[in-house]
Structure 1
Amino acid sequence: MNTRVLTGIAAMLLMVGVGLHPAWADEGHGHRMGYGHGHGEQVMSGHSGAGHYLRHLLNHRQAIGLTEEQVTKLNTLSLDLDRTRIKTEAEIQVAERELAALVQDEKTDLSAVEAKVKQSEALEVGLRLAAIKAKRDAVALLTPEQREQEKVEHDRMMHQHREGGKS
């Protein structure tokens, strides 16, 4: 009976984890509570906005006044973050499938299940930290004037978004 209860709990946790992890990893689309794209949060928001922020800078390079050197560095940061995200998401999917197999096997020791859960979570942490670093590196490339201009562009876009794309 205890094995069935533990298996049921582990399966439920797995389903919740698998359902939530794409929102954490899909930086442009998933938003967790407390995370966003406000000015004060741009550096602190984690990977939910790192890729979006990099694309925003590149898409508004002229309005922000980016130099060719800055554009090159931002493109490199963006590509590196994409590589890390794609590889890590694949590793997480494999770990989650391995976890599901462990949970299905009633003979599997709970310590093996715990180790696999911790492996998956460590990959999530690594992905979040990589995104935070990429965003901080991007902000560090900007001059104070460019940071201010980026905020102006961001506010303009948010206003247009709230107005339904008009303006």
Structure 2
Amino acid sequence: AVVQLHPDADPPPDAAVFAFWHLPGHKQLLHDGKGLALIARSPGHCLRFALAPGLEDGMAVVQAHRGGALAPARRHSLGTALFIVNPRPTPAALMELHTLQAFDATLAGASLRDVGEGLFGADAVADWYSDGGLRSKVRRLVRRGDALMRGGYRRLAQLPPLEKGRFEGSAKRP
């Protein structure tokens, strides 16, 4: 769930303020094509905010969110502000995400090192070498993505395997 933060035009004396440096965890600002987004990650939590134009550090802030989008999330208080914390994705979900991102990047022409940097950060690939563990992990993710594209998605979705076609190597020939 994404919480929208807007400047409060008429704040009460005890209004919550936007305090960028008081948000817990590692912060990342990015432009999503529509506006500025803020992601703050800490162990087991991920806070996502859409920042309204004109919002500055220290300003009184109001929060908005869409109806039922916050049902699985937990609410946490930090000072006078209320923040929504989403649970960390499961390891399986994270592996699926990394698999699809790695395969998509290689199809777009990215090198394995570029994929590793995109998934795990520049610090992680600083000691990149040909037989390194990170390079092997990225190669496995790309191979897994390729296997999913070639029918492995059916296993993941618990669908029956496709029947062998006439061009399959072990198919019977007339």
Query: Under a length normalisation based on structure 1, what TM-score does the superposition of the two structures give?
Result: 0.26
- More strand per residue: 2
Larger Rg computed on CA atoms:
2
Query: Under a length normalisation based on structure 2, what TM-score does the superposition of the two structures give?
Result: 0.25
- More helix per residue: 1
| Greater RCO structure (CA 8 Å; 6+ sep) | 1
